[in-house]
Amino acid sequence: MLTKKENLDAIEKFSENLEIEGRSLWKDAQIRFMRNKAAMISLVILTIMVLAVIFLPMFAEFTYDDTDWYALHQAPSALHLFGTDSLGRDLYVRTLIGGRISLMVGVLGALVAVLIGTLYGATSGYIGGRTDRIMMRILEILYAVPFMFLVIVLVTFFGRNIVLIFVAIGAIAWLDMARIVRGQTLSLRSKEFIEAAHVSGVSNWKIITRHIVPNVLGIVAVYSTLLIPSMILTESFLSFLGLGVQEPMTSWGALLQEGSQTMEVAIWQLIFPACFMIVTLFCFNYVGDGLRDALDPKDR
Amino acid sequence: MFKFIAKRILEAIPTLLVLITISFFLMRFAPGNPFSTERPLPPEVMENINAKYGLDKSVFEQYTTYLTNVLQGDFGPSFKYKDFTVNELVASALPVSAKVGAAAFVFTLIMGVGVGTIAALKQNTWIDYTIMSTAMIGVVMPSFVLAPALIYVFSIYLGWFPAGGWLDGSFQYMFLPVIGMSLLYVATFARITRGSMIETLNSNFIRTARAKGLSYTYIVLKHALKPAMLPVVSYMGPAFVGIITGSVVIETIFGLPGIGKLFVNAAFNRDYSLVMGVTILIGFLFIIFNTVVDILLAAIDPKIRY
């Protein structure tokens, strides 16, 4: 639902080749990834971005909620690098703090989605039979539910809580993950080492968590990288509508919303958060593409 | 074929029921209700209100009543806009969204497929590179960044188009919302079309056609386009869902009186019946559209069994 069709296809193709390549695949993949300039540059930028949003606010002159009534809508200057907003708050610090929230929601949301999706898919694929059919049927039904609308409903009715947003966003995105992992598990199920574990009396749950899940981690890694930017987008979408993080806390989506309202008088309030967000999304996409190419032996 | 279509339609029914159930119970167990005010109403008044909207019955009874009503196409009265039923509110907002959405969808398909095909035919030339790098920007640029940017450039700076409003959907007022809504999907369709077009043009039957001496234009239009459209058609479902979801933001930014705006306002006002009505309606649209896409796919691709 949240990823592109082509990515899913590529992930599936990669998965078909996974077993044959064995262990050396990881080293191969690493070498191929390092050769991919766009992906490597993106990775460096992302690392700098993460370090910046974590550490730079600590050394800044202002905090994200310092208001200054004598400095409303100030253009960028040496004192306020990115200018100030309508309450005179320093936009440089706010952009960084907003980045912290956006990235955190992105990563945590992806984590929730990956966790649910992997376990659901692995369980469904491993147990098989009627359980599998029912679980897949449930998945198909959930695919048709307009989740974005349900999340909006959820957030308005149960309060605008950041934890709730993580969970809600993560809960939308696990469907694709579950499908991919199930496909993987089906091919793993008939492997000898799984049968051996089964014969020696290991419980189903242990087999799933100890043997199946570690073996599908490769795809999960690729998919998570592609999931993070779409999580960030979803969070911004909610914040833009005023349903995400609440004042004085902020995120890129919330900053964009404020910026779009004052762009006639203070265009920098829109430009700086927008640039940060777009650069981040760009980099995540390139790293994801790079990982996919590196792990897809067919493309060599 | 008929059996396949019937099966797909039957499969949609449980999905719809689940959707109605989820949205119903989500609303009912939410804290607060549309009548909770700063100063509590006298209990007698509250009782009358509850009786009027059926809130005094048991949850199960409310659920069955709601379910039967919805199945008959009646979504009940709005809790916030007095004297309006949900059906009336939706009926006044739907044409706006339908007009913008349909325009955006058609624009997306024509532009996306057209541009993608050009890029594929001019593969690895500057035309291809320009189109594809522009598409990459389109893919990562979210609509809530794009729309304000469009307003800034075209309304404030150049002054060509109005920054918002509807005015019965004249071209001037539709232009920016449609562009803002569709650009992301134009980019995605262009990427998909380019990829599958290149793959098709490299396949054996195209080589045979060229060996027969057919003209290149004829081959592209007559032989390559149909198989190359498969991934495009299968992405039409997600694109439709995305355009509808995106309409929430676009309609808020441009102030269009459509379904998306109605929904956001209803959610803020805790208008239970309206929120539920819109959610169910959108879900219904998704299901219909996905079914249509599936049938289309089966019609184009002889490999799909039904």
d(Cα A97, Cα B223) in Å, to the nearest integer? Answer: 54
Residues of chain A with Cβ-Cβ distance to B249 below 8 Å are 237, 240-241
Contact A252, B140 (CB under 8 A): no
Confidence label for A299 from pLDDT (cuts 50, 70 and 90): very low
User: What does pTM read for this prediction?
Assistant: 0.76
Tens digit of pLDDT for each residue in B168-182? 767 778 888 888 888
Please state the separation of Cα B47 from the chain's center in Å.
40
Contact A145 B22 (CB under 8 A): yes
Structure confidence at residue A300 (pLDDT): 38
pLDDT tens-digit series, residues A217-263: 777 877 888 888 888 888 888 888 877 777 778 888 888 888 888 77
In this prediction, residue B109 carries a pLDDT of 92
Cβ of B245 and A233 within 8 Å? no
A124 in Cβ contact with A131 (< 8 Å)? yes
B188-227 pLDDT, tens digit per residue, is 899 888 888 888 888 888 888 889 888 888 888 888 888 8
Q: What does R_g of chain A's alpha carbons equal in angstroms?
A: 22
- Which range, of A64-73, B4-13, B73-82, averages the lowest pLDDT? A64-73
Considering only CB atoms, which chain B residues are within 8 Å of A154?
26
Q: Quote the CA–CA distance of B141 and B153 in Å, as a whole number.
A: 16
Q: Do B18 and A148 touch (CB under 8 A)?
A: no
Query: Mutate which of B25, B134, B145, B293 to test chain A, going by most A C-beta atoms within 10 A?
Result: B145
Distance, CA of A155 to CA of A161 (rounded, Å) = 8
| Size of chain B, expressed as the number of residues it contains | 306
Distance of alpha carbon B76 from alpha carbon B53, whole angstroms: 9
To the nearest whole Å, the CA of B210 is away from the closest chain A CA by: 27
Output the six-digit token pair for B232: 């495009």
Q: Quote ipTM for the complex.
A: 0.72
Mean pLDDT, range A139-148, rounded to an integer: 76
Contact A212, A188 (CB under 8 A): yes
Partner A contacted by B234 (CB < 8 A): yes
As a whole number of angstroms, the distance between CA B181 and CA B198 comes to 28
Token pair listed for A33? 């990834």
Q: Is B211 on the interface with A (CB under 8 A)?
A: no
Q: Across the strands, what pairs with A84?
A: A90
**Cβ atoms within 10 Å of B210's Cβ, excluding its own:** 14
Residue A274: pLDDT band (50, 70, 90) is: confident
Model confidence pLDDT, tens digit, residues B211-270: 988 888 888 888 888 888 888 888 888 888 888 888 888 888 888 888 888 888 887 777
